[in-house]
Amino acid sequence: MTLFQGNIRKMHVTTDQDNVAHYQLPIGEQLIDMNPLIGTPIKVAFNQEIHCIHCQAKTKKSFNQGYCYRCLSTLAQCDSCIMRPELCHYEAGTCRDPSWGEANCLSDHFVYLANTGTLKVGITRHVTEQVSSRWLDQGATQAMAIMRVQNRLTSGLVETALKEHIGDKTNWRTMLKGQPEKADLQALKDNLLEQIEGEMDEITDEYGFQAIEILDLPAVDIHFPVSQYPDKVKSINLEKEGEFSGTLLGIKGQYWLLDGDRVINMRKYSGYKLSIETQ
């Protein structure tokens, strides 16, 4: 057995040439390669210690998947406009950290469609080598970037228009229950663009024709390292249970899938100090 100890972070995930997701879990100063562990026993224990992923201060409670309350209240990346980009208030001069806003909100964003078991719309800042880390984190088996927009605010306005016709949330239970049927994202894109034509005209009238660029990109198929999906999803609460063990059957999104239909959202425990035993 190999023992790892330390505060964990959100899993790093990349894809290979076949768009298969490969995971690494940061723990302390180390990275655990997770894909080779699928099919083997694993044991995890919570050491009753949490540190903020930004300031590293010890905290009794974690907010927004890893922040202490002070950072939640002061950091630009924890402001409410992160969840609702149509409320971006950089131009109003009230951004908590203008330099962070310039780097993260005033650059190009992509509006996309994804199949996570249900069809959804979303936004992302990066589409590297055709696959966005956002798609991987959401467990999307298909995704397609449909627009490039000039900033975060504009992406939020477009997403708001699209949300009248398609959801914007991932149902994590549905996402974890198996491989969804393949969808025709191109036909969905064409239909949605027709339905929001009026809203798009209003946005370009206010912000200029350069604000939105319709993309002509193919849908991307994404594959996750899962040997067996659960029949019924039983979520592990690490704070209540303290520890768990079992055979790792797969990883999808930021979730581990274990025997006994158990799943755990590892990103939820960012900043938690854990002990992890692997073979």
Residue 128, pLDDT above cutoff 60: no
Of all helices (H) and strands (E), which one includes residue 202?
A: helix 197-207
How does pLDDT run across 200-215, given as a tens digit for each residue?
Answer: 999 999 999 899 999 9
- The pLDDT of 263-277, averaged and rounded, is 98
How does pLDDT run across 32-77, given as a tens digit for each residue?
Answer: 999 999 999 999 999 999 999 999 999 999 999 999 999 999 999 9
Distances (CA, A) of 92 to 98, 103, 153, 197, 202: 11, 17, 12, 28, 20
Q: Where are the domains of the chain?
A: 2-46+228-278, 80-221
